[in-house]
Amino acid sequence: MKCPPEYWIWLQRTLGAGKRLDNFFAYFGNPVNLYEAGHAEWIHSGVLSAKDAQKLVQFSPSQSYSIMKECLNKGWEIVTYDDDCYPERLRELVNPPCVLYVSGDKNILNYPLSIGMVGTRDASDYGLNVAQDISASLAGAGVVIVSGGALGVDSASHSGAVMAGGKTVAVLGCGLGCNYLASNEPLRRQIAENGAVISEFIPYTEPSKSTFPIRNRIISGMTLGTVVIEAGEKSGSLITAKAALEQGRDVFAVPGDITNSNHFGTNNLIRDGAKSVFSYMDVLCGYIDAYSEYINTDKRYIPPKKTGIKAEKAPVERKNRKTEQSAQVYEPQTVSPKKEENKMKPSVPDYASETAKKVFEYLDDEGILTDELVQKSGLPVHEVLSALTELEMYSLACMGSGKRYYVKFSV
């Protein structure tokens, strides 16, 4: 018999996210039994410290109703530990979340074939392209991509899945409705429409240094394996990789420049036994037999060929045309108006935000500065920047020389 959600919310609210719960379940069975047992039995059981017992009396299950009402008003689902949609793999953890607050499709949470994608927020073009391409290929082949909804590798991984028409899940280090990373709001909206944005934290909980390591165990815990892309020696992504190993999950890593500190963490993972990833098939091949009914590599998304992407520490050929070749190596992607004269301007998807649609009207093959976009559109700077991020996610816009934004024609 399922417990009313208010009891699960009460338990998670009082003890805190990330708490070890296997001993509670072994003794009391469920939160209702725990609540009804009372303070004396909590102490007698031996599974609760005096401090934990004191926490449990600070709130009552009835105080969860305001949280439940807010979720109902916002259209957010509450998925408890005993819900059919609760990720089965998370139940294997000693510290599973009691509650997951979900914006989007809760049914995607228990999808059998899911892979975590994590990496640095300060990613290079190389890292972003690799994350997007691998995620797009995996999602197109039938894999649900799970990441943390942050900037850098996380955003590239989510956008890759969206571009491929696949499914993706963002696990937040804050509560739903929190204004953290406002510039990423268009992406979170797209994730919710193509999967789910989830959090174990009560809605509107602000992020902190402790919330992100806590949420990382969910990314690794609900997936078959985690791919680490471009992570330094102290990257938070390594916490996710460590959690994956402790949970008995697979760990993959993309090799990188051995002289670049942004790749020290991933290269060390490979040295210590992580599986090297050179293409999406290096991730997928180990699951084909067991999950063949979910995989269709014939339908995988093939990312468009990229040209002129800035190389990271690329060697420059030392010839008489040294300056010219150096510029070719380090120049950001640009659009040549002459080459695009006969190209039709692509269309913005119907599901894009109205802000993105409006900003796109002012983009062409001649390029435009952000300040000019603000002036012409009449929109605030932060909305223009958010719209440009969204358009870049759809591969409809790119920034070229002089920090001018262009229409990105397919290659």
Q: Of 167-171, 256-260, 271-275, which gets the smallest average pLDDT?
A: 256-260
* pLDDT at 305 exceeding the cut of 70: no
Two structure tokens written together for 350: 């119907």
Tell me: the pLDDT tens digits for 183-238? 788 889 999 999 999 999 999 999 998 999 999 999 999 999 999 999 988 888 99
Residue 83: its pLDDT value, please? Answer: 96
Give 103's strand partners. Answer: 197
Average pLDDT rounded to a whole number, residues 150-163: 92
Tell me: the pLDDT tens digits for 324-356? 333 333 233 334 444 445 567 888 877 678 888
> What confidence tier does 410 reach under pLDDT thresholds 50, 70, 90?
low
Average pLDDT rounded to a whole number, residues 77-95: 96
Q: Exposed/middle/buried for 271, CB within 10 Å: 0-12, 13-18, 19+?
A: exposed
Residue 10: its pLDDT value, please? Answer: 96
Instruction: Indicate the length of the chain as a whole number.
Output: 411
Residue 310: its pLDDT value, please? Answer: 36
Better-scored residue on pLDDT, 263 or 344:
263
> What confidence tier does 146 reach under pLDDT thresholds 50, 70, 90?
very high
Domains of the chain by start residue, with CATH:
5-80 (no CATH), 111-299 (3.40.50.450), 305-332 (no CATH), 334-407 (1.10.10.10)
Two structure tokens written together for 14: 């009082």
Residue 388: its pLDDT value, please? Answer: 84
Question: In the Cβ-directed half-sphere of 153, how many Cα atoms lie within 13 Å?
Answer: 31
Residue 408: its pLDDT value, please? Answer: 82
* pLDDT at 318 exceeding the cut of 60: no
> What confidence tier does 275 reach under pLDDT thresholds 50, 70, 90?
very high
Residue 101: its pLDDT value, please? Answer: 98
> What percent of the chain is modeled with pLDDT above 70?
88
Q: 196, 147, 198: which is closest to 176 by C-alpha?
A: 198
Residues 122-144: b if buried by 16+ CB within 10 A, e if exposed: ebbebbbbbbbbbbbbbbbbbbb
Residue 352: its pLDDT value, please? Answer: 76
Residue 326: its pLDDT value, please? Answer: 33
Question: Dihedrals φ, ψ of 251, to 5°?
Answer: -125, 130
Q: Which residue has the tokens 């020696």?
A: 233
Average pLDDT rounded to a whole number, residues 295-304: 67
Residue 338: its pLDDT value, please? Answer: 41
* pLDDT at 302 exceeding the cut of 70: no
> What percent of the chain is modeled with pLDDT above 90?
60
